[in-house]
Amino acid sequence: MSRSFRNLHVVSFSIPFPANYGGVIDVFYKLKSLSEAGVKITLHCFQYDRMPAPELDEFCEKVFYYPRKMKGAHLLGFYPFIVGSRSSEQLIENLMKDDAPILFEGLHTCISITDNRLKNRKKLIRSHNIEHDYYSALAKLERNPMKRLYYKTESRKLERFEPLAYNKADAVLGISQKDTDYLKKNYENAIHVSAFHAFNKVNIPEKTEDFCLYHGNLSVGENNQAALFLVGEVFEDLEEQLIIVGNNPSVQLQKIVKQHPNVELKDNLSSNQINDLIHQAKVNILPTFQNTGIKLKLLAALFNGAHCLVNDPMVEGTGLEKLVDRANTPQDFKSKIKYLMNSSHSKSMTQQRQALLKPFTNQENSALILNLI
């Protein structure tokens, strides 16, 4: 790709390093890929649960950090909490120092896009999920009544705020084809730009080890629910080994894992350690109960792993349906696990993945963004 030497502001919902869970993986590898294409990036990060990361200086001309406003008063306002808590006058002032295009990462960061001082700027929004659907699904999974009320309220506010932000953008970048189809029905400026990730090529292992792997950020409700489903309903009477990898596992998950000798929980591993396990596992098993966006864990398993077993919500509308095995009930999962643990992977699997994953490469995605800025 030719070097362009264009300038770009990127407004990130969080500090995108370390790149160890879905949203920040997309942001980090987008920064890396655009920088390698010659884009001079000014990065703006909201800080609340991560430390400043000097590693970002390699890809960015400047990096600014802004405190996220976490006080409860934002829960009662017009804006969704994830949006209102990311307001910053200093951010606006820094964006006004030049006239470079602005890429807002997620609806979370878009309160600034409504500011009239930016009305003449070229503005892009990366849609990481259809956020009101995502929060509605979180509400359905949540048992705590106060948290469930918060998710329901946030979902309604996000649905109301979405057009206020997206109609002010020059382009909205859908992360999956399914999300992009929704966006195109509602907004004229939608385009599909798939998720950025750590992998440059398909690397199916020649040899694997006899275990299944589930990985994800376990502090996220849907990932905790998926892990509990696998332990309590799938592997509870199997002999096969399951390794669960992810940060901040719940007390409930830790307790149930201890009751199953064939299940092991590994928390707070590095990105490289997680990728090694993905590569070693005989089966990457990835159910989800949330069908918005595209799961970075799915792309990681397809680029870097052997067999990939998912349920319908994980893969539908992604264009990757032919690359996975599917199960939707505990019994289906058990049968498929036993089958796949005794199956080898073929050259045709590699060839098929290479063909179907080409639109999901960082180079393809960077080219789409370069055409927009």
| Residue 4: predicted pLDDT | 44
Number of domains in the chain: 2
d(CA 294, CA 174) in angstroms, rounded, equals: 10
Cα–Cα distances in angstroms (integers) from residue 110 to residues 12, 60, 62, 166, in the given order: 10, 21, 20, 9
HEC secondary structure over 270-281: CHHHHHHHHHHE
For residue 2, is it within any domain? no
191 and 251 both lie in a single domain = no
Please state whether 47 falls in left (phi above 0), alpha (psi between -120 and 50) or beta: beta
366 and 314 both lie in a single domain = no
158 and 194 both lie in a single domain = yes
> Which among 102, 60, 18 has a CA at the least distance from the CA of 369?
102
> Which among 125, 128, 149 has a CA at the least distance from the CA of 138?
149
| Residue 3: predicted pLDDT | 44
Mean pLDDT of 4-28: 90
152 and 25 both lie in a single domain = yes
First to last CA, the chain: 15
φ, ψ of residue 128 to 5 degrees: the values are: -85, -25
The conformation of residue 165, written as its DSSP 8-state character, comes to H
- Contact between residue 130 and residue 179 where contact means Cβ atoms under 8 Å apart: yes
Output the domain CATH number for residue 132: 3.40.50.2000
141 and 170 both lie in a single domain = yes
Q: Which residue's structure tokens are 């505990």?
A: 330
For residue 204, is it within any domain? no
Give every CB contact of residue 54 below 8 A, 6+ residues apart in sequence. none
Question: In this model, does residue 56 exceed pLDDT 60?
Answer: yes
For residue 286, is it within any domain? yes
φ, ψ of residue 283 to 5 degrees: the values are: -135, 125
Mean pLDDT of 249-258: 95
Computed over every residue of the chain, the mean pLDDT equals 93
- R_g of the chain, CA atoms, integer Å: 21
Give percent of the chain above pLDDT 90. Answer: 80
| Residue 318: predicted pLDDT | 85
- For the chain, what's the residue count? 373
Give percent of the chain above pLDDT 70. Answer: 98
| Residue 20: predicted pLDDT | 81
67 and 145 both lie in a single domain = yes
d(CA 258, CA 55) in angstroms, rounded, equals: 37
Question: In this model, does residue 319 exceed pLDDT 90?
Answer: no
pLDDT digits (tens, 9 = 90+) for 294-310: 788 999 999 999 999 99
Q: 30-44, 175-189, 338-352, 354-368: which has the minimum mean pLDDT?
A: 338-352
> Which among 204, 227, 203, 205 has a CA at the least distance from the CA of 215?
227
For residue 1, is it within any domain? no
349 and 366 both lie in a single domain = no
Residue 74 pLDDT class (50, 70, 90 cuts): low
Question: In this model, does residue 76 exceed pLDDT 80?
Answer: no
| Residue 73: predicted pLDDT | 57
For residue 203, is it within any domain? no
| Residue 1: predicted pLDDT | 40
> Which among 214, 293, 208 has a CA at the least distance from the CA of 25?
293
For residue 67, is it within any domain? yes
- Contact between residue 243 and residue 212 where contact means Cβ atoms under 8 Å apart: yes
> Which among 203, 208, 214, 205 has a CA at the least distance from the CA of 357?
203
- Contact between residue 138 and residue 222 where contact means Cβ atoms under 8 Å apart: yes
34 and 100 both lie in a single domain = yes
Mean pLDDT of 49-77: 89
31 and 159 both lie in a single domain = yes
What is residue 286's three-state secondary structure?
strand
23 and 123 both lie in a single domain = yes
Tokens of 312: 């319908």
Q: For residue 212, what are the β-bridge partners?
A: 242, 283
97 and 233 both lie in a single domain = no
Residue 222 pLDDT class (50, 70, 90 cuts): confident
Mean pLDDT of 124-152: 93
133 and 155 both lie in a single domain = yes
For residue 298, is it within any domain? yes
Q: Which residue's structure tokens are 């950090």?
A: 65
Question: In this model, does residue 75 exceed pLDDT 80?
Answer: no
- Domain that includes residue 308, residue range: 209-356
HEC secondary structure over 323-343: HCEECCCHHHHHHHHHHHHCC
pLDDT digits (tens, 9 = 90+) for 281-298: 999 999 998 877 778 899
pTM above 0.75, yes or no: yes
| Residue 350: predicted pLDDT | 86
